[in-house]
Structure 1
Amino acid sequence: MKHLIIILISSLAWVQVSKSQSIMKKENVENVVKQFVQGANQRLVEQVDSVLDDNFRAVVNRAFGNDRLMLISKPVYLDMLSEGKLGGDNRTIEFLWTDITGNNALVKARLTGKATVFTTYISLVRNKENQWLIVSDQPHIEQVSDD
């Protein structure tokens, strides 16, 4: 009976530790997304650069009535940000879901600004230094109507 109780207590402790680690991973991933969005909002190129993997791509499909698929590399994205072609809005972030499997994470978020609403999928990877970095941003962009 003592052994059964010890096993039960150990199992419950392991579940709690596992759950805590899972919550911490989710918070870490979502904090990286917040840094990305807040950095873009304020056009803080260094802050955005610090959370993007070197292989980052923004995948913008058929935005603003356009029929094109645009793939924007990290250097081009950062240049557009510094030139004021991106960002500069005070968008709020609503996390719709966050899924983490091993060293990969996918976040679906809604970013609401003055003129646009982005529903975006942000893909992250955890590198060997245990740092989460964004490898892709795939937004669906809608303009806010004035009515």
Structure 2
Amino acid sequence: MKVLQTKQFTKTKSNMKTLMLMSAITLFVTSACHQQSADEKAINKTIHTFSKAGDEYDAGLLELTLDTNFRIVMNRLFGSPDVSIMPREVYLEKIRTKEYGGDSRQVQVESVNINETTACARVRFIGREMTFVSILNLVKDPRGVWKLVSEMPVPK
């Protein structure tokens, strides 16, 4: 009888170790997913703020969402054979003068890939006049704020 109790105790002890190991792994994976989830939420918020600010001609709000190195890279846009680059200040001026913006776009974030303090998102901006699919590159600043560093739009 004593030998049977010892075997049961050993088996229970082994099961307990396995349960504790599995719990630790689950906690670790959940923590990692939670962090990525928090970053994804922040990135989504930045993207939606970027769109809203452009739609409402709000250059001040745009300045908060754009990194100082922001630029729009337009590859053969609207039939052009060239790659054109629009710096941040030119883009902001076009918003201020209402040459750009003023639409009411629906935003669909199709994918987000995070690599520590950098990220890339594929976003569909659906407006009344035109739809764009853009690749947005973002950076996380030292304060933990996600900002856009580039947009590569393609009209659809």
TM-score of the aligned structures, taking structure 2 as reference length: 0.87
Partner of 1:60: 74
Aligned-partner SS, 2:131? strand
Alignment match, 1:135: 149
In the alignment, the residues of structure 1 paired with residue 81 and residue 58 of structure 2 have an alpha-carbon distance, to the nearest angstrom, of 30
Distance in 2, Cα, partners of 1:13 & 1:63 = 47
Give the corresponding residue for 2:140: 126
User: In the alignment, which residue of structure 2 is the partner of 1:17?
Assistant: 31
CA distance in 2, matches of 1:5, 1:63: 57
| In structure 2, distance between residues paired with 1:7 and 1:87 | 54
Larger relative helix fraction:
2
Q: In the TM superposition, what is the alpha-carbon distance from 1:30 to its structure 2 partner?
A: 1.1
Per-residue Cα deviation, 1:29-73 (whole angstroms, up to 9, x for no partner): 111011001100111111111010101010112222222322111
Determine the C-alpha separation between the residues in 2 that align with 1:38 and 1:86: 13
SS of aligned partner of 1:129: coil
Q: Find the aligned partners of 1:49 and 1:41 in 2 and give their Cα distance.
A: 14
Q: Where does structure 2 lack aligned partners over 5 or more consecutive residues? A: 1-13
Name the CA distance, whole Å, in 2 between partners of 1:7 and 1:33: 39
Q: Percent identity?
A: 22
With structure 1 as the length reference, what TM-score do the two structures score? 0.92
| Aligned: 1:81 with 2:95 | yes
The corresponding residue for 1:91 is 105
Provide structure 1 residue ranges, at least 5 long, that are not aligned to the other structure.
143-147
**One-letter identity of the residue aligned with 2:61:** Q
Q: Secondary structure at the match of 2:108?
A: strand
Q: Paired residue for 2:20?
A: 6
Letter in 2 for 1:31: K
Q: Which moved more, 1:11-20 or 1:34-43?
A: 11-20
1:88 and 1:68 mapped to 2: Cα distance?
26
State how far apart, in whole Å, the 1-side matches of 2:133 and 2:89 are: 23
Between Structure 1 and Structure 2, how many residues are aligned?
Answer: 142
CA RMSD of aligned residues (A): 1.1
* Runs (4+) off by over 4 Å: none
Tell which structure's C-alpha radius of gyration is larger.
2
Higher strand share: 1
